[in-house]
Structure 1
């Protein structure tokens, strides 16, 4: 799940994750820790004894195998105290540590360890590339292979291995187009040494996009996890249905042909993963139970097809118009869904839920309130959740559940992700600069707004006159003392603006500037005069030897050759350089 707030305090260089074993039969706790971090597991057995040990348990064909986890004093350590406290700490977590753990006195009845232990998942970090509705762009997400049990303190982004920014949101703040030799990476604060493998976007079209990964799990099917690979993904996935005698053939089609023979697919039946097929085609025999099916390309499960009914009749299905939404704080948002149901089983009710990190059982039902902040809207088979006056803590995942006589039909494997962002002005290289430098102002967000967003810029609460299509970047090149002041930005279509941020410009001392320029001008004039005199003298000697005295006198009465030169101020020359694409270069911006 996504983080809703940035922690104000960081819990240390090591991400410290705790889990308590509940000891209830049939209930297994699941925790997820970052690869390379440390985890501490607590034993909550009712009667702790000095003979207690930690075990891992695994399934070997037809029996459960329980194995002692021996401490080595370094990577695996036990901690005991008189206060009935018994834990095990595992450092430098790796994929091989994924297991079920329990604390016991003996190895009798290992099934109990299996059913009441703590399941540990180890997550690696990956920059996930996700298509957008924009034809030539994609979005980036700092993603873990399982939702971390502890909220990350912040996400850090890097471009070409250099620090870019940090934010509470795992969503990269801008849409990305294909750029040659540009790489992106991310890390979790406190784990900067465990960065995600670098990713570059090679090409983006209206149907496909190609990504190169430096290494990582995405390359496991192509080369190996330690070698780079390039993968082409579709922007859209859909299920095609073909009815044949006695069965139905479902095909997972993509918006562009995938030439890699090792491409695998994910099939879902009634919103649960269908583990019996990884091929592009799925044969459904005698589909009489009203099942719904959907699919995705393995490794790009975020691009999910709509659910379809295996039969021609209607079935239970829920699809979303948009699965990722970036919205401004204090604005309103519509989360739209389309649903279907069997003709003879009309849903009793329809409710939206806000999912929490701990899982489905702790989801919060959203109900319409008297203030009108949360509103349900119904239009035939379309159900819309409208949230007004958005706040940052509305950032979460949302799902629609259809209540029936037999239970709850829901779509929880592909919920809608909503990120609520404010606007902030950021200065690059900093908010304190020296006159003559280049300064870039950015109207920053925690998630990417669409490319057609128009921005408004203000200085000291006064609007700046800029070109018609204003971008989120404003460039002062060169910056002068007259540019110093308080800046803010806004989005043209919303009455929402950022707070003011101050730009301080240090003025170069006039005496130093005048002295430096006078020396340069004096030297330039001296050199020019010497060269001019030398050239004229040589020309006079040459003509004197070639013409007669009479001719010489005639020539001397002719018009003299005018020799002129222009000294160009380096600042003026810099101002004549073309502005960078997608940036508004401010020179005559303030009318001076």
Structure 2
């Protein structure tokens, strides 16, 4: 193989190496984690042998966020993702805590680190997170004289949780089992039942009733997001037994610890901004002109027989709407992701997003989902981007700016250019060498015919067989100066013996 060939072969081996990465097996406490929406989860993994001391630049990533990565082959740090801002804690080398779990957090989590000896390494296998909620399943027992209540989820909850059972919103039982057997015939067991996990008492399952018209309050959803200046509805329904006297209904801020709760409609911070929209079993509350200070937990209370029914709470988070451009400074031809996001879950039943560039609506297949990806950026893509919720266009997000620079040629393009130039150079060298060998070693190269006329004689000189002494002769003149000793004149009848190798012909006129 020639030197050029070896260089090309080495480059073709080098390019795939740029995109390769090692993987290493880790022992993780759990490969699948099942958690309640709103819960806090912890992901733990053990160090593989002989690598703990080599860890550098460790970070966690999630493959489902790949659409946001600048380079789809290089995972990016989850802590830089605005969707996780303020919700992540890192402990040790391979410990991750995620707070206020959302449905959008589902996916497979892995971490990436760099060692002195092996470069970048991705952990395997990943830890799969499933987000669920509590539900109560009601089954009749075999003899039909009782009922079995089961607190269920669509996956098996991690960490061996302790269950709490409620009757008429009052705690009645702590248990390590997720089921409860009752004698439905006995009147002492009638009422509404719900369950929760210890430590997350506000994340209760919707109550079930063993008789009609049980006393119960429920919220769907239990966590709500709103934006400053807009309004939000806290959806609420309640039921109560026939004949039960309800003396008062009111909404309160659950962080208000006064013995006698204060109705929000009379609270100084909410006067003129709250509207009770209840009608019959509907107890929905609307809060207008939202402020960030409104972020709190709220409860709907029923007062009966001089006491308040202790219902669960609904959580409200008031946050800004953001548009994120990543990266915000980029070279032409690179990839950019632009998406709309909040620091909490989106409002129930929202109609989608609108994305803007320099105030103009952007039409994109994923625009209503709140994100777009520009795979090949040009100078025309530079500008200011913002977003808003459909139906709340008057409340756009703050703007984010994308700057596009010409920038240097990428490494890959540089390598490809070098490969092309080397290939062309190799072809030129090969062609030149081949032609040179043919010119030096060939024996069928003819010299232009020169005609010498002198007194009617015709001499045809052909270099079919070259004499060594005349390899450099280019011209033979017809009538040279006979007194010039630099050559010998050729004349009819004056043939020098040194020219015996030249074929002699008669002039054409003598051929007859």
- TM-score if structure 1 supplies the norm length? 0.47
Q: Judging changes above 3 Å, is the alpha-carbon distance between structure 1 residues 315 and 476 closer, same or farther for their aligned structure 2 residues?
A: closer
Q: Is the 8 A contact 1:249 1:281 kept in 2?
A: no
Offset at 1:372?
5.8
CA distance in 1, matches of 2:218, 2:357: 45
1:186 to 78, 88, 98: 88
Q: 1:258 to 1:538 in 2, by over 3 A?
A: same
Distance change (3 Å), C-alpha of 1:426 and 1:418: same
Structure 1: segments with no counterpart, 5+ residues: 1-126, 132-138, 144-156, 174-183, 215-227, 543-592
Distance in 1 (CA, whole Å) between partners of 2:419 and 2:142 is 91
Matches within 5 A, 1:516-527: 524=420, 527=423
Query: How much does 1:309 deviate?
Result: 3.9
Equivalence for 1:294: 194
Cα deviation code 1:446-475 (max 9, x no counterpart)? 113379853322222223332364443333
Higher strand share: 1
**Contact 1:239–1:305 at 8 Å: present in 2 too?**
no
Structure 2 regions of 5+ residues with no counterpart?
1-32, 43-58, 63-75, 112-125, 439-512
More helix by share: 2
Which of 164, 175, 181 is 2:79 aligned to?
164
1:198 aligns to 2:113 (yes or no): no
Deviations 1:374-431 (A, max 9, x none): 11123332211112232222221111001223221130xx3111112221222323x3
Partner of 1:366 in structure 2? 264
Residue 261 of structure 1 and its aligned partner are, at CA, apart by 13
Deviation track 1:451-502 (CA, whole Å, cap 9, x = no partner) reads 9853322222223332364443333444444433222122233212112233
Larger Rg computed on CA atoms:
2
Q: Which residue of 2 aligns with 1:472?
A: 370
Q: Which one of 490, 497, 503 corresponds to residue 396 of structure 2?
A: 497
In structure 2, what is the Cα distance between the partners aligned to 1:246 and 1:459?
Answer: 65
Distance in structure 2 (CA, Å) of the matches to 1:522 and 1:380: 78
Question: 1:305 matched to which residue of 2?
Answer: 205
Q: Distance in 2 between matches of 1:232 and 1:164?
A: 20
| TM-fit CA distance, 1:535 | 7.0
**Count of aligned pairs between the two proteins:** 354
Which aligned pairs between 1:388-407 and structure 2 lie closer than 5 A?
A: 388-407=288-307
- Kindly indicate whether residue 363 of structure 2 is the aligned counterpart of residue 448 of structure 1: no
Residue 271 (1) aligns with residue 169 (2) = yes
Alignment counterpart, residue 350 of structure 1, candidates 240, 249, 271 = 249
Post-superposition shift, 1:445?
Answer: 1.1
Distance 1:355 1:196 in 2: 37
Residues 1:440 and 1:522: Cα distance change in structure 2 (over 3 Å): closer
Q: What is the deviation of 1:194?
A: 7.9
Contact in 2 for aligned 1:437/1:479 (Cα 8 Å): yes
1:198 aligns to what SS in structure 2?
A: strand
For the structure 1 residues 379 and 267, does the alpha-carbon distance in structure 2 shift closer, same or farther, using more than 3 Å as the test?
same
Q: Which has the higher contact order (CA 8 A, sep 6+)?
A: 2
Is the 8 Å Cα contact of residues 215 and 238 (structure 2) preserved in structure 1?
A: yes
Root-mean-square deviation (Å)? 5.3
